[in-house]
Amino acid sequence: AQKVTQAQTEISVVEKEDVTLDCVYETRDTTYYLFWYKQPPSGELVFLIRRNSFDEQNEISGRYSWNFQKSTSSFNFTITASQVVDSAVYFCALSGPTGGGNKLTFGTGTQLKVEL
Amino acid sequence: DTGVSQDPRHKITKRGQNVTFRCDPISEHNRLYWYRQTLGQGPEFLTYFQNEAQLEKSRLLSDRFSAERPKGSFSTLEIQRTEQGDSAMYLCASSPLGGSSYNEQFFGPGTRLTVL
């Protein structure tokens, strides 16, 4: 069975602060994929990033960066110099190999509030 | 290129009534997924189609739920004899099987169901 844990329910920061959202996963698959999605107040899930289990390179995209560590089964997400527009619920998700349908198992989400 | 669309966006119904939701995926996406999201939780997988074939159903999908994708394009999700516990956001997502975006699921805006 697959499981994703996002222990942080809610985080509040002041604009321009850096913030890290934690994600820990469990899976028995040797091939798997990890994702982060953003859900703004409008409700639509927005895809942010996909990583596969064979690629542990960290990635940076603008103010976003991701730290994937298989040894600790973690896939953490950092926003640098946060902005009010970053306020949203962020979900970490996990899927198995393509042959298994790639259905996503989501964590419970972290509500990020960025204040002026 | 249009995204995933869902109709209706909101549905209020009385307990015991039947409801049907529609999802139009991104054209040429082979896979279509249905998820359910309750307040404060991450989306939970319900079922998925590859073209017109329904390949997996979650145990969450009771016999009151049925989904179809008759021509491998749009899909419908029907709930019979609705119960108050069915109140949730129903999300549809689609995904290509190949190309640079394979395994990425693109979500629609959701249908929010309220059962009175």
Instruction: Give me the mean pLDDT over the A63-91 stretch.
Output: 95
Query: Residue B13, CB half-sphere, CA atoms under 13 Å: how many?
Result: 23
Instruction: Give me the mean pLDDT over the B78-107 stretch.
Output: 89
Assess whether pLDDT exceeds 80 at residue B102: no
Instruction: Give me the mean pLDDT over the A64-82 stretch.
Output: 95
Site of tokens 């074939």? B53
- Cβ(B6)–Cβ(B110) below 8 Å: yes
Assess whether pLDDT exceeds 70 at residue A99: no
- Cβ(A115)–Cβ(A14) below 8 Å: yes
* Residue numbers in B near A45 (CB within 8 A): 43, 91, 93, 107
Residue B61 CA, chain-centre distance (Å), reads 11
| The two structure tokens encoding residue B89 | 């956001």
Query: Chain A contact for B99, CB < 8 A?
Result: no
Instruction: Give me the mean pLDDT over the A26-35 stretch.
Output: 91
**Are A45 and B43 within 8 A, CB to CB?**
yes
Q: Which residue has the higher pLDDT, A52 or B4?
A: B4
Least confident of B15-29, B48-62, B81-95: B48-62
Confidence of residue B86 (pLDDT cuts 50, 70, 90): very high
Choosing among B30, B37, B51, which should be mutated to test the A contact, i.e. which has the most A CBs within 10 A?
Answer: B37
Assess whether pLDDT exceeds 70 at residue A72: yes
CA distance linking residue B103 with residue A34, whole number of Å? 10
Confidence of residue B101 (pLDDT cuts 50, 70, 90): low
Q: What is the 3-state secondary structure (H, E, C) of A77-97?
A: EEECCCCHHHCEEEEEEEECC
**What's residue A9's pLDDT?**
96
Q: Tell me the CA distances in angstroms from A109 to A44, A93, B39, one per residue in order.
A: 14, 9, 11
User: Which has the closest alpha carbon to B89: A61, A24, A89?
Assistant: A89
CB count within 10 Å of CB B113 equals 20
Confidence of residue A40 (pLDDT cuts 50, 70, 90): very high
Assess whether pLDDT exceeds 70 at residue B25: yes
Span A83-94, pLDDT tens digits: 999 999 999 999
Confidence of residue B7 (pLDDT cuts 50, 70, 90): very high
Query: Chain A contact for B36, CB < 8 A?
Result: no
Which residue of B31, B50, B109 is in closest CB contact with A43? B109
Query: Chain A contact for B50, CB < 8 A?
Result: yes
Which residue of A50, A95, A109 is in closest CB contact with B42? A109
Backbone phi, then psi, for A62, in 5-degree steps? 65, -120
* Residue numbers in B near A102 (CB within 8 A): 31, 95, 103, 105
CA distance linking residue B19 with residue B50, whole number of Å? 24
Assess whether pLDDT exceeds 70 at residue A100: no
Write down the mean pLDDT value for chain A.
92
A45: nearest CA in chain B? Answer: B107
- Cβ(A104)–Cβ(B92) below 8 Å: no
Which residue of A44, A47, A101 is in closest CB contact with B104? A47
User: Which has the closest alpha carbon to B105: A108, A2, A33?
Assistant: A33
Query: Chain B contact for A33, CB < 8 A?
Result: yes
**What's residue B28's pLDDT?**
85
Choosing among A47, A51, A104, A111, which should be mutated to test the B contact, i.e. which has the most B CBs within 10 A?
Answer: A104
**What's residue A57's pLDDT?**
81
